[in-house]
Amino acid sequence: MADTVLYEVADGLATITLNRPEAMNALDTATKVALRDVLQEAAQDQAVRAVLLIGSGRAFCVGQDLKEHIGTLTGSGQDAGGRTMSTVAEHYNPIVTAIATMPKPVLAAVNGVAAGAGAGFAFAADYRIVAETASFNTSFAGVALTADSGVSWSLPRLVGHGRAADLLLFPRKITAQEALELGIAQQVVPAEQLPATAAEVARRLAEGPTVAYAAIKESLAYGAGHSLVETLAKEDELQERAGTSEDHRIAVEAFLKKEPPTYVGR
C-alpha cells in the first residue's frame, strides 16, 4: 500500500488518513488506488464497524492532482485505460461507491479545504464534522469539467437542486459555517478540537448497533429515489433484518434492566 494513504483498525474503527500533506492530499494515481483498495477492504472486513476518513496537514483533499493530470493532456491525450478520464471509472466511482454503500457508517473529518473529488468523498460520507477553518469547493467548472465522484448525486440531496446547480456552475469557497447552514456539515468545531471530536463520534459509531446503522444507511439511500409505497416495503424488509439482530435483543434486555447496552455488531 502506498504511504500516501494510512490505514489502521482498532476496536472496530477503521481510520483512513490521506497522507500527502505536501500536496494538500491531491489525488495522484497511487493515492487513488490505495484509497480505493483500503475502502473496499474496510467495507468487507466484519471486524470494522465504522470508518473515519481524514486528511493530514492543512487540507482534507483538493481533488485530482493536476500536475500529474497535465501529462495526460499534453502527451497522448489518453491515460493507461485508453481514455482521457478513465480515472473516473477506475478510481473515483469505486471509492464513492464503497463510502456510500458499505454496510457501516462513514464519518468524514474535514480538517481543511475539500475540493473537487475531495469534496465528493466528503459528501458521500454519512456524517461530516468540519473544522471551523475548513471549506468546500466543487471546483469542477473552474477547470472546465463536469461533476464526478458522485457530486451530481450527493450534493442535490444535501442542499437541493437549485443550490447544487449554483455551486457547480459558479464554484466558490463554501465556508464551514455556510456548509453547516446548507446542510453539508452536521457539526462544525474549532480546528484544534476536530481530531478529538471526530474520534469520539467515530468511536460511538463503532460501538453502536452496526446492523441497525447499515439498515438506516440503506433506507435513506433507497427512500431518496423511490415512492412512499416502495419505501414502506423496504422499511419492512430492513426492520425484519434489524429486529432479528443480536444487537436488538441486547438493546431490549438492557432497556428492561435499565443498563446501557454493549453491542456486538451482529
Fold of 210-257: Lyase 2-enoyl-coa Hydratase; Chain  A, domain 2 (1.10.12)
pLDDT above 90 as % of the chain:
91
CA distances from 203 to 7, 10, 245 (A): 16, 10, 21
CA distances from 167 to 62, 142, 151, 202, 204 (A): 16, 11, 11, 29, 33
pLDDT tens readout for residues 228-257: 999 999 999 999 999 999 999 999 999 999
- Mean pLDDT computed over 26-55: 96
By the 10 Å C-beta count (0-12 exposed, 13-18 middle, 19+ buried), 117 is classed as buried
Output the pTM of the full model: 0.91
Instruction: Give the residue among 52, 50, 17, 35 at the shortest CA–CA distance from 199.
Output: 52
C-alpha cell of residue 51: 470508518
Q: Give the model's confidence band at 68: pLDDT under 50 very low, under 70 low, under 90 confident, else very high.
A: confident
> In the CATH hierarchy, which top-level class contains the domain 5-206?
alpha beta
Where do the structural domains in the chain lie, given as residue ranges? 5-206, 210-257
Q: Give the model's confidence band at 75: pLDDT under 50 very low, under 70 low, under 90 confident, else very high.
A: low
Which pLDDT belongs to residue 65?
Answer: 85
Q: Give the model's confidence band at 163: pLDDT under 50 very low, under 70 low, under 90 confident, else very high.
A: very high
pLDDT tens readout for residues 93-125: 999 999 999 999 999 999 999 999 999 999 999
Which pLDDT belongs to residue 66?
Answer: 80
Give, in degrees to the nearest 5, the angle at Cα 233 between 231 and 237: 110
